[in-house]
Homo-oligomer: A and B are copies of this chain.
Amino acid sequence: MSASLSEQALVHRSARGANNERLEFLGDAVVGLVVAELLYDRFPKVDEGVLTRMRAHLVCERGLAEVARTLKLGERLQLGPGELKSGGYRRDSILADALEALAAARYFESGWDACRAEVRSWFEHALGSLHTDDFGKDAKTRLQEWMQARALGLPEYELVDATGPEHAREFLVHCRAAAHSRQTEARGNSRKLAEARAAEAMITQLQADERKANPA
For chain A, give the interface size range: 10 to 19
Q: How many copies does the complex hold?
A: 2
CA distance in complex: A25, B44 (Å): 12
Query: A26 touching B22 by the CB < 8 A rule?
Result: no
Determine the main DSSP class of A at the interface with B.
helix
Is A148 at the interface (CB under 8 A from chain B)?
Answer: no
Footprint of B on A, CB under 8 Å? 21-22, 24-26, 28-30, 32-33, 36-37, 40, 47-48, 51-52, 112-113
Give the contacting residue for A25; candidates B26, B30, B52; CB below 8 A. B52
Q: Which residues of B contact A113 (CB under 8 A)?
A: 112
The answer, among B32, B47, B48, B52, for a CB contact under 8 Å with A33, is: B32
| 8 Å CB contact of A22 from B24, B28, B32, B51 | B51
Q: Which residue of B lies closest to A20 (CB)?
A: B48
Q: Which of A24, A25, A32, A47 has the most CB of B within 10 A?
A: A25
